[in-house]
Amino acid sequence: MSAGAAGAFAALVRRDLLLAWRRRGDRLVPLAFFVMVTALFPLGVSPERAVLATLAPGVVWAGAVLATLLGMDTLFRSDLEDGTLEQMLLSPLPAPVLVLAKVLAHWLVTGLPLVLAGPVLAGALHLPAHAQPVLVAGLLLGTPALSLVGAVGASLTVGLRRGGMLLPVLLLPLYVPVLTFGAGAVAAAAAGLPAAGHLYALGAILALAATLAPWAAAAGLRISVA
């Protein structure tokens, strides 16, 4: 990446973070949803410690996946509505770099709070303390992958009037591997088994998503604004 592209990348990230700060009420919705899903789960299943500890990995990861999905529809939509997206695509900044900057800002606003809240909520579900570092590591690898894959779906539906209704149908099947390996890593650690294999798989998914998703999302944006 050239110095000019790096500067534009940093400026775009700062812009999106500033806009998120001005609309922080809206940006807190995914985190609030994550907390509510996890907190209400014991009321619908069982308050017993052993049951909650067994189900905690799946509950926390399912909540993180759904919370990430909740904020994906707005990734490009506001820029499309005010004409900013077209100007960005016409700028000298390569479209994949544009996508990567917006995904990074989205993850900092949406994904990072989920990573920080995950151990607290898992502890409330009686997840063993020795499994919580694995949960944090999994979320650090998995949530950026969710945002990258979600950017592809968001780019394809941004121009549709009811794209927000179609987005979960497109993305949920693609989120299954991240959910499976993320919850599997925590469950293995809680049972005293090695979790490295699951984390390696999450790392491979993240590397693949970081390599391919910006290009795919850039192509989707060009189709949507054409």
Q: Which residue has the higher pLDDT, 189 or 160?
A: 189
Q: What are phi and psi of 192, to 5 degrees?
A: 80, 20
pLDDT of residue 200: 96
pLDDT of residue 186: 94
Does residue 54 carry a pLDDT above 90? no
Cα dist from 83 to 21, 77, 98, whole Å:
21, 10, 15
CA pseudo-torsion sign 223, 174, 114, 111: negative
The residue range of the domain holding 151 is 3-225
What count of residues does the chain have?
Answer: 226
| Interacting residues of 192 by C-beta distance below 8 A, sequence separation 6+ | none
Q: Look at the chain and report how many structural domains it folds into.
A: 1
Q: Which two tokens stand for residue 14?
A: 């700062």
Q: Which residue has the higher pLDDT, 1 or 41?
A: 41
Rg (CA), the chain: 18
Q: Which two tokens stand for residue 53?
A: 């500890």
- With bands split at pLDDT 50, 70 and 90, how would you rate the model's confidence at 5? low
Q: Which two tokens stand for residue 137?
A: 């590591």
Does residue 61 carry a pLDDT above 80? yes
Q: How far apart are CA 187 and CA 200, in angstroms?
A: 15
CB-based contact 125:78 (threshold 8 Å)? no
User: What is the rounded (10 degree) CA torsion for 190, 192, 196, 201?
Assistant: -50
- With bands split at pLDDT 50, 70 and 90, how would you rate the model's confidence at 135? very high
| Helix segments in 91-195, DSSP class H | 95-106, 112-124, 132-157, 163-190
Q: How far apart are CA 204 and CA 99, in angstroms?
A: 20
Name the residue type at position 89: L
Please count the other Cβ atoms lying within 10 Å of the Cβ belonging to residue 214. Answer: 24
